[in-house]
Chain A
Amino acid sequence: MTAPLLIARDLRRTFASGGRRVAALDGVSLEIAPGETLGLVGASGCGKSTLARVLTRLVAPEAGSVHFMGADWLKLSGSRLRAARRHMQMVFQEPLAAFNPRATVAGVLADALRIHAVVPKAERGAEIARLVDRVGLPAALAGRSIRNISGGQRQRVAIARAIAVRPRLVILDEAVSALDVSVRGRILDLLVDLQRETGVSYLFVSHDLAVVRAVSHRIAVMDAGRIVEEGPAAEVIAAPSTAVLGRLIDAVPRLKGKPQA
């Protein structure tokens, strides 16, 4: 087995809530291999978004360590941090908050390409056109303002921006949860195709177990700030050992009346 791309050990983080300290992360450890998708599921408030935010350094943990691409990720700073950041990208549920609201689609992608010097300046225009096409958006959309496109289109721009810099890991926090099912299907196919082509790893965070199962090699189940179950996707779902996973399985809406394939 190849060395893990990311190793998190014993991450801890509490938040104040109504005068008490509540543990959002209560000793979380996980590993993600190159080219692997780790699905992270759990109910609202289980700590999965906090974990995504700690891994991306948007929230500092109170204890624990993260090694990413062999470096002590939480201790990186300055130019070494900027260089490493390129390789850990993130996509959130509501992408509008993650963009400069005055930017155009092309401008968003141009910034990412320029900041991380992904391609020579002369090739930037062609690379933007390639990215827009890659995520299934019409070329004419590149000149539109990020505010004047639909939510599904904006989410595809967020994914285009994340993959523009050719990262090693993309953290997707409920990235497809707000999309129409037809758009969701195309985005999931796109993510899987990109992984086959580039070997990118994903941490796929969602409350929707069916979607997580469809795209993940391994699944980790979170409850009350801890990972309570972890293993290959099919095995974990076939034999749940915790009540929380049992509830997530029972809650998946089944299509009543669908003929068996």
Chain B
Amino acid sequence: MSALAAISNLAVAYRNAALPALSDVSLEIEAGEILAVIGESGSGKSTFARALIGLLPQRTAISGRIDWPGLDGAPRAGRDIGCVFQDPGSSLNPVLRIGEQVGEGARRHLGLGRRAADAEAVRLIGRVRLPEPERIARAFPHQLSGGQRQRVAIAAAIAARPRLLVADEVTSALDVVVQAAIVDLLVELVRADGMTLVFVTHDLALASGIADRIAVMAAGRLVELGPAAELVAAPKTAATAALVAAHIDLATPPLVGDAP
């Protein structure tokens, strides 16, 4: 596999922060892979995602390099990289119709005219499996549920046919049933279009279910990186082992005994 991006010695320090948010992170993102980036609050995983997208605030101290051997030059956010965040309520414009927001990427980056972009928006809304795409295209964000809004955000993110999709905690605000459906949708879209997916989450199980490789972050550092199943089966670091141990599923021994 060839590298889409090569990150070397990346370090990020926010203004007025006592500690760096990222220190000495080096890894390659392979073209076409699903790379999960996991870690607890404050581990640096979202900072890593934002550095990749180029969305760090101004006057943030950034050192190291991000090269894009898989692209014909520097990435253009929205064109080469699509992003989806935790709260689609705040990334969608509340006063614009869904269709306009989904079609914007196609108009701006693919040069589609208004009517073609509208048609493309309806097609994309259908692609993220929302019912009655024509009706949804005319709706406003507040008329949709959280899970539906997240589907819209995904449709908008893939409108310009990016090479890389960065999904930062996209299912954390959703209930588990909706979460599973959104994850399935992301994997299907990424595989169908040959996109690369960087999937940032605090949920190791979710990551293990979809990722080719998992990167574990702790205290601003990349502490472990490996094929998903291997990393879960035989963690090499205490941070990964702790995440594996803290996982709770239906096979976990209950903490309580029989009814009192």
Report A's interface with B, CB cutoff 8 A.
33-37, 43-45, 150-152, 180-182, 184-185, 188-189, 192, 195, 199, 207-211, 213-218, 232-234, 237, 247-259, 261
Contacts and interface: CB of A to CB of B under 8 A. Distances in A.
| Nearest 6 CB-CB pairings of A with B | A257-B229, A253-B205, A257-B232, A35-B260, A181-B246, A207-B175
A217 B176 contact: no
Interface stretch (B7-15, B56-64, B73-81, B251-259): B251-259
Contacts of A215: 254-256
Contacts, number: 133
B179 to A, nearest CB: 7
B209 A213 contact: no
A253 B246 contact: no
A255 B259 contact: no
A257 B231 contact: yes
A189 B252 CA distance: 14
B255 A257 contact: no
B18 interface: no
Given A215-B256, A218-B259, A44 B249 contact: no
Contacts of B180: 250-251, 253
Contact of A33 (B42, B178, B179, B260): B260
Contacts of A248: 176-177
A209 to B, nearest CB: 7
A257 B177 CA distance: 22
Contacts of B42: 150
B233 interface: yes
Interface in B188-211: 202-206, 208-209
B247 interface: yes
